[in-house]
Amino acid sequence: MGRVGLGLAVGCAAVSCAIAGVLVGRRMRNRRKWARVLELLSDFDEGCSTSAARLRQVVDAMAVEMHAGLASDGGSKLKMLLTFVHRLPDGNEKGTYYALDLGGTNFRVLRVQLGGRRSTVIRHQVERQPIPQHLMISTSEELFDFIAMTLKQFVDREDDDINRELVRSRELGFTFSFPVKQTSVTSGTLIKWTKGFAIEDAVGKDVSQCLEEAMTKRGLDMRVAALVNDTVGTLAVGHYHDEDTVAAVIIGTGTNACYVERTDAIIKCQGLLTNSGGMVVNMEWGNFWSSHLPRTSYDVELDDESLNRSDQARF
C-alpha cells in the first residue's frame, strides 16, 4: 500500500473512530437521560402512591365531612352546595333547547333539538368563543355584555324551521363553572372566581341576573331557566342517557363531584321538600382532596406556575 493509500486508510480509521466515539457518547448520554427519566418516574410514583389503608382513611374522612356539610354551611371542607335541581332529564324531552357554558378562558353557546326518545338528538349546533383576557379582570357588566352579544349573534343565525317551532320566549340553560351559592334553580350568587378570573364587583352578585340584564340590553328575548355548574350538567347528560346515573365527577383544570341526595338527609334544607324526594348536591370537593392526598414537589411547581399565569393574566 502506498503512502497515499496508507494516509487515506488512517484518515478513514480516524473518522470512523470519531463517529463511533460520537455514537457511543450519544448512547451513553441517552442511557443517562433514560436512567434519569426512570428515576423521576420512580420518585413520582412513590410520592403519589397511596396505600389501601390510607384510602380507607380518606373514605371515612369524606363521609364525616359530607355529613357535616349537609348539616350546616361553613362546617366542613366540603361545601355540599344545594343546587335546587330535583329532577333530571329522562330522555323524553322534546323541542329546541339553548345553553351557555362559561367555565374557563373560552365559553360555548349551543342549541340542541331533542326528539323525545331516549338518547335521540335530532341536531345540534355549537360555537366556541375565547374570552379576551382584559375582560377576565374588568367588570361584570363588560364581561356579560360580551357574552350576551355573542349569544345574540348565535341566535340570530337560527334556521327558519327552528324559528317556526318556537312560539314563546327562549329558555336558556346556564352552565357557570365557578363556586356559586344557589338561591333557586335559576339563580345563585358568585362566591369567588377561579381559573384566572378576577372581577371583584361580580363577587356576591346573582350571575343569572347579570346575564339576563345583559341579554335585555342586547334586545335578546331569553331567560335563564336553569343555573348549574359543569358537574351538574355532566350528571344531567348521564341521566338523560341512563336513568340509573346518580353521580358525576369532573377531572380537568380542577376536580369536583355532585350526586343525588335524599332531601331528608340534607339538614340545612330546613324542611325544604321536593316532589322527587331528592336533590342534586354540588360537593365542591377540591379543597378536601388537597388536604387529604399526598403533595409532591410536582404539585408545588404546578401550583406556582398556575399562580404565575394567573398573575400575568391579571396584570
**pLDDT top residue among 40 and 132:** 132
* Domain annotation for the chain: domains and CATH numbers: 81-285 (3.30.420.40)
Range among 103-112, 142-151, 285-294 rated most confident? 142-151
Per-residue b or e along 40-52, where b marks 16 or more CB atoms closer than 10 Å to that residue's CB? eeeeeeeeeeeee
Range among 43-52, 120-129, 292-301 rated most confident? 120-129
Give pLDDT, residue 17: 47
Active-site residue list: 108, 177, 230
Q: Which residues contact 225 (CB under 8 A, 6 or more apart)?
A: 171, 172, 173, 186
CB 83 within 8 A of CB 280: yes
- Average of per-residue pLDDT across 266-286: 81
**pLDDT top residue among 3 and 236:** 236
Query: 309: pLDDT confidence band, cut at 50, 70 and 90?
Result: low
Cell of 72: 350546616
Give pLDDT, residue 47: 72
CB 231 within 8 A of CB 258: yes
DSSP string, 196-264: T---GGGTTSBHHHHHHHHHHHTT--EEEEEEE-HHHHHHHHHHHH-TT--EEEEESSSEEEEEEEEGG
- Average of per-residue pLDDT across 249-269: 88
- Please tell me the number of Cα atoms within 13 Å of 128 on its side-chain side: 5
Give pLDDT, residue 246: 94
Q: Is the pLDDT of residue 255 over 60?
A: yes
Global model pTM greater than 0.95: no
Model confidence pLDDT, tens digit, residues 198-248:
999 999 999 999 999 999 999 998 999 999 988 999 999 899 888 899 999
